[in-house]
Structure 1
Amino acid sequence: MYQKGQYIVYGIRGVCEISDIITMEPPDSRQRRLYYELHPYYQKGSRIVVPVDSGKTVIRPLVTREEAVRLIDEIPQIREMNVETDKQREARYKAALNTCDCRVWISMIKALYVRKQDRLRQGKKMTDLDQRYFRTAGENLHSELALALGVSREEMAECIRSRVKGEK
């Protein structure tokens, strides 16, 4: 069980702070349950209440500073996601986001970047679907790493770029 004040990753909602742990009796039950009251870090004013024992959505601790640095250093070795057909593209992207796994997000971002470059060479734009998932995966990754490393989310892309280029 996580603690009040702890930062976690909650599904596709991303980084959240556990502001409270409360006991409630759900309308469809007679048994009281523990719930996390979550506040998405980058969505001020939002509130999510989720059962502590819910297995429907991935809830995991935020990466540590050391894990974030190690992950950024591993980016060149992470292979891009392979999507065989356009038909399975959205399902693969959605599944990748739902893993809440930074390495999977990086794999997806790399695949989308390569696809974007290929389309640009052909004189085409990035599709709306690709653009949406590229932005979402990037925001999720940058949000978590930024908080772990103590930098702003806006600075995170440049921090990653410079570290991967060897400007540690």
Structure 2
Amino acid sequence: MFDIGDYVVFGTDGVCTVEAVGSLDMEGVSKEKLYYTLAPVGKSGSNRIFAPVDGKRVVMRRVITADEAKALIGKITEIEPLDVPDERKREEAYKAALMSCDVVQMVRLIKEIYRRRRVRFAAGKKLPAIDERYCNLAENSLYSELSLPLNVEKSRVEEYIADAVGM
């Protein structure tokens, strides 16, 4: 169970702060069931997410620690790009990697799209919109999560990684 103030990754909504844990005062919702009230980090407005404490449909986990973030960055050059053998299932593979909420899968997805971008640009072709969309989603998710334990602004995480791996 998570506590108030914890940072969590909640599905594709990304990093959120746990604001409350308790029953919801809403019509049609059982008072017996407990929910987390989550506030997405870095998104202005009053958007709140209500997630069942016992929910299993959406991945919800703690944000990685500073040591885990540094270890991930330290092995980033060794992580293989996402393998997508069937071009017709490319979006499905991208979506599965994104929905896993796993930082290694995010790195694999980003590396695959970067690889694909280089190949297509060398052939004088643009990257398809689907690749751009999933790359943006994966980068946003990964950089948002890494920014917290590394105490780096999200907009500077890519630069932080490049410096760390000597690129």
Normalised by the length of structure 1, the TM-score is 0.94
Distance in 2 separating the partners of 1:95 and 1:79: 16
Q: How does 1:39-58 map to 2 (within 5 A)?
A: 39-45=39-45, 46-58=47-59
Per-residue deviation, 1:24 = 2.8
Aligned to 2:101: 100
Name the % identity.
Answer: 36
Aligned to 1:19: 19
Distance in 1 separating the partners of 2:156 and 2:56: 33
Distance in 2 separating the partners of 1:69 and 1:29: 42
Runs of 5+ unmatched residues, structure 2:
none
| Deviation readout 1:108-143 (Å, 9 max, x if unpaired) | 110110000000000001110000001110110000
Aligned to 1:157: 158
Per-residue deviation, 1:6 = 0.4
Per-residue deviation, 1:27 = 5.0
| Deviation readout 1:82-132 (Å, 9 max, x if unpaired) | 101221000000010000000000001101100000000000011100000
* Between 26-35 and 100-109, the greater mean CA deviation after superposition: 26-35
Instruction: Write the letter of the residue equivalent to 2:36.
Output: Y
Per-residue deviation, 1:42 = 1.7
| Deviation readout 1:4-44 (Å, 9 max, x if unpaired) | 00000000000000011121377556561110000000212
SS in 1 for 2:23: strand
Aligned to 2:32: 32
Normalised by the length of structure 2, the TM-score is 0.95
Distance in 2 separating the partners of 1:69 and 1:30: 42
Distance in 1 separating the partners of 2:70 and 2:151: 12
Aligned to 2:92: 91
Instruction: Give the total of aligned pairs.
Output: 166
Instruction: Write the letter of the residue equivalent to 1:137.
Output: A
CA contact (8 A) 1:24 1:32 kept: no
Root mean square deviation, CA, Å:
1.4
Distance in 2 separating the partners of 1:130 and 1:146: 24
CA contact (8 A) 1:26 1:32 kept: no
Instruction: Write the letter of the residue equivalent to 1:8.
Output: V
Structure 1 ranges of 4+ moved more than 3 A: 25-31
Distance in 2 separating the partners of 1:32 and 1:24: 9
Aligned to 2:149: 148
SS in 2 for 1:9: strand
Instruction: Write the letter of the residue equivalent to 1:58.
Output: V
SS in 2 for 1:33: coil
